[in-house]
Amino acid sequence: MTQKYEMNWDLDVFFEGGSSSSAFAELLEQLKSEIPALKKELELMKEDAGVEIWHDLLVRYQKLMSLTLQSYSFVDCLTSANVKDDKAKNLGGHVQAIHADLLAASTVLEAGLAKLSDESFNALISDAKIERIAFNLAEKRKASLDKLAPAAEELVGDLSVSGYHAWSDVYSSVVGRMEIPFEEDGEEKKLSVGQMFTRFQSPDREVRKDVFARWQAAWENEAELIALALNNLAGYRLALYKHRKWDSVLKEPLEMNRMSEETLTTMWETISQNKHRLTPFFERKAKMIGVEKLSWYDVDAPLPAGSSKVSFDEAATFITEQFEQFNPQMAEFAKMNFEDRWIEAEDRPGKRPGGFMTDFPVNNKGESRIFMTFAGTPGCVSTLAHELGHGYHTYVIRDLPMLAQRYAMNVAETASTFAEMIVIDAAITKATDKEEKVALLAEKIQSAIAFCMNIHARFLFETKFYAARKNGPVSKDSLNELMEQAQKDAFINLLDEYLPTFWASKLHFYGTDVPFYNFPYTFGYLFSTGIYARALAEGPSFADKYDALLKDTASMSVEELASRHLGVDLTKPDFWQDALDLVAADVEEFLALTNE
Ligand SMILES: [Zn+2]
């Protein structure tokens, strides 16, 4: 049978010739001169510059933003599809420098807005041409007012290269050189961290137990140096916050995610009150794999399932059909992705692992590209649906000014999780093989456990670690203790063994883009689940409301977003409770299916 949809994407519509494209090289040159030129103009702005001048600058700034993003996406696509494309890697370096220039221009823009009197600023944002980005400009202005004087911030930015980001690099190079000895197929191997991690997915418990012990030992071995990196990263942040007179380590991540601490607290509290409803799943799974109590390495372990595979065409049809029932526009969008070759899905060597969606915002066509390796498993179908959800988000907001398209991490996963849930639920309902049904359902519940317990442990750890770090460096042994306690608390003592060196093995603690790279995931997951609960209740009439919500994701706080489009108060438990009830219903179904 011939294949209906191609599994390779079309990047030539953007720039012909891949990493040898002359048009792309020209664009980079253009950005290298235009961004610093705009920065200069912003620096020379008079305080009494009128609305027209501001408008012109903002239009140009946003145009440069979208061109920079387009360049970033193009290079990211090239290097992902062919990890050996050295030309593309080299272009990546140029794009990074351009991105740094754009950030510098953004800082000057923020400072310019901060210099305006309240009166002039209000006049500016009430202008009809600027109104749509009023929220984003107010946000930028506040960011500048909250920081140190521009000259001091510029120094901070320069020093951070070797004093902050460098610790992240230290961490990456430690992880990069690590080799973990492992015996497999009668052979003594040395595995990288990434390779070893995949072995946790073994259906054989003895293998997982061995992987776990070696994993622990390997991280313990490097813990001293990694603790140094973690302590210095946190120390840097705390010192900067002190000078900026910020009293809470949550200030920065909460503001980046446009949410209040009250919402965060209510979310975790409601989760904690519902955790006992997950207990029967832990007990049943333990019984199914023949142990008294699950260990850390059993929580995500797969249950035996049939090895049914689907083709890319079948996946495409299945996803499109399921989308259709919730939102015909989503189905149209998916079809366009398959027909116009917006997806790189071929299973071949030389591709980067993982999956992502990246947008090409120039021309407001809402174009995006999805990268993944499609191997026909149910997990691949979910990933494809997930990334199409991200793409749909980009598509819905395509006509908005660039600044109004920059949604935060906690709502970024809304559309993707929503799309994924539609498809997973349909797959569970339609599965004819009982073993497969059980395995799919278990995977769905395990992802809820990851968001509500595993990520909660990270949050609890980070909160306690920062409190301790204020009084000086925290030793590796104390970090192990803090982590193990956080895991016990987050998993309400349901496990037999924990992973104390998790603080060393989790990359997310070492990123310098976003501190507290944990709670936004849980927020996104539950926010999306709550929206899904709404969609199930309201049927197809919910589609328009859903699109309207997506359109506002970068233009207001999450509290306002939820109140305006869903009529709910995120600082109260009800919305979170509805989402958690869906998780509990899955557990009930799992128990019923496995009750024999
Ligand atoms: Zn995602």
The fraction of the chain above a pLDDT of 70, given in percent, is 99
Instruction: Output the CA 414–ligand 1 centroid distance in Å.
Output: 8
First CA to last CA distance, the chain: 42
In 10 A of CB 74, how many CB atoms?
25
Among the residue ranges 83-92, 225-234, 312-321, 392-401, the one predicted with the least confidence is: 83-92
Asked if the model's pLDDT at residue 290 lies above 70, the reply is: yes
Instruction: Output the CA 417–ligand 1 centroid distance in Å.
Output: 7
Instruction: Output the CA 413–ligand 1 centroid distance in Å.
Output: 5
Instruction: Output the CA 581–ligand 1 centroid distance in Å.
Output: 23
Instruction: Output the CA 356–ligand 1 centroid distance in Å.
Output: 7
Instruction: Output the CA 53–ligand 1 centroid distance in Å.
Output: 38
3-class DSSP string for 102-131: HHHHHHHHHHHHHHCCHHHHHHHHCCCCCH
The pLDDT score that the predictor gives to residue 148 is 93
Instruction: Output the CA 388–ligand 1 centroid distance in Å.
Output: 10
How confident is residue 95, by pLDDT bands cut at 50, 70 and 90?
very high
The pLDDT score that the predictor gives to residue 198 is 86
Instruction: Output the CA 526–ligand 1 centroid distance in Å.
Output: 14
The pLDDT score that the predictor gives to residue 46 is 85
Whole-model pTM: value is 0.92
Mean pLDDT of 219-238: 97
Instruction: Output the CA 389–ligand 1 centroid distance in Å.
Output: 8
Mean pLDDT of 294-322: 91
Mean pLDDT of 393-415: 95
- The tens digit of pLDDT for each residue in 344-398 reads 999 988 888 888 999 999 988 999 999 999 988 888 999 999 999 999 999 999 9
How confident is residue 7, by pLDDT bands cut at 50, 70 and 90?
very high
Q: Report the C-alpha gap between 280 and 276 in whole angstroms.
A: 8
Q: Among 410, 415, 408, which Cα is nearest to 330's?
A: 415
Asked if the model's pLDDT at residue 153 lies above 70, the reply is: yes
DSSP H helices, 470-572, are: 476-490, 502-505, 519-538, 542-551, 558-566
Asked if the model's pLDDT at residue 497 lies above 70, the reply is: yes
Most confident of 153-162, 373-382, 501-510: 501-510
Instruction: Output the CA 441–ligand 1 centroid distance in Å.
Output: 20
Instruction: Output the CA 384–ligand 1 centroid distance in Å.
Output: 10
How confident is residue 448, by pLDDT bands cut at 50, 70 and 90?
very high
Which residue did the predictor score with more confidence, 83 or 211? Answer: 211
Instruction: Output the CA 523–ligand 1 centroid distance in Å.
Output: 13
Instruction: Output the CA 421–ligand 1 centroid distance in Å.
Output: 12
Asked if the model's pLDDT at residue 307 lies above 70, the reply is: no
Instruction: Output the CA 524–ligand 1 centroid distance in Å.
Output: 10
3-class DSSP string for 167-225: HHHHHHHHHHHCCEEEEECCEEEEECHHHHHHHHHCCCHHHHHHHHHHHHHHHHHHHHH
Q: Report the C-alpha gap between 180 and 194 in whole angstroms.
A: 10
Instruction: Output the CA 233–ligand 1 centroid distance in Å.
Output: 26
Instruction: Output the CA 327–ligand 1 centroid distance in Å.
Output: 20
